[in-house]
Amino acid sequence: MVYSRSLIKIGLVVSVVFLFGCSRIDRRDSGGVVLYVSDFSAVTQVQANLGQVPMFETLSLASRVLDPTAETTPAMDIILRFFKVECKRIDGGSMHPAPFIRGITGTVPAGGTTDYTNLPLLGLEHIQNPPISYLLYENGGMDPETNSTLISLNCEVEFYGRTVGGKDIDSEDIHIYVYYTP
């Protein structure tokens, strides 16, 4: 009885250490800095038949130094590599657009920001493939799964880079709602 209680306690401790020790914060807390989206404005209501894509009109990526009393070094600067957008339907449909992964260039200085304009959230290829292609007039202009002329998406955006010191890092996720109409 005492033996099994000890095993349960050890199992709980190992589980807690595993959960917290292997969390995503390891990739975010790299090289003494954290990468995050500090500000953005986005075009999120778009028309498929006009070839419009949702995009960040403006986007600011920032780096926060984890120890504000520490001296920053060039090794803490973040070289951006790519970003990924994954969307889930929020309108009852089960078919999702493919993930959107694009390269991005630039450096976010330790404790600083880097700004972008007109960065796409999804690409033209998404308009040419289901479920968004269903909204094209030549395909009926309506999603056959929901019988709606509106496709609503919750898109999760994440940015990836590497510190000059060689540590991989990814940003905190942000969520953006995107609405496609014919």
SS3 137: helix
Give dist(CA 64, CA 112) in Å, integer.
Answer: 7
Three-point CA angle 144, 128, 178, nearest 5°:
70
Radius of gyration of the chain (CA): 21
Assess whether pLDDT exceeds 50 at residue 126: yes
Q: How far apart are CA 154 and CA 84, in angstroms?
A: 14
3-class secondary structure, 98: coil
Please tell me what DSSP assigns to residue 114. Answer: E
Task: Check residue 123 and report its DSSP letter.
Answer: -
Domains of the chain, with CATH numbers?
Answer: 31-181 (2.60.40)
Say if CB 168 and CB 162 are below 8 A apart: yes
Could you tell me what percent of the chain has a pLDDT over 70?
84
Distance of alpha carbon 98 from alpha carbon 40, whole angstroms = 23
Q: Could you tell me which of 47, 54, 42 has the C-alpha nearest to residue 182? A: 47
d(CA 100, CA 88): 12
Residue 4: pLDDT over 60: no
pLDDT for the residue numbered 30: 58
Model pTM above 0.85: no
Q: Where are the alpha helices (DSSP H) in the chain?
A: 2-21, 25-28, 124-127
Task: Judge whether residue 15 has pLDDT over 50.
Answer: no
> Dihedral through CA 167, CA 168, CA 172, CA 176, nearest 10?
150
Which SS3 state, helix, strand or coil, does residue 111 take?
coil
pLDDT at 156 > cutoff 50 = yes
pLDDT (tens digit per residue) in 50-86: 999 999 999 999 999 999 898 999 999 999 999 999 9
- Cis peptide bond prior to 131, omega within 30° of 0: yes
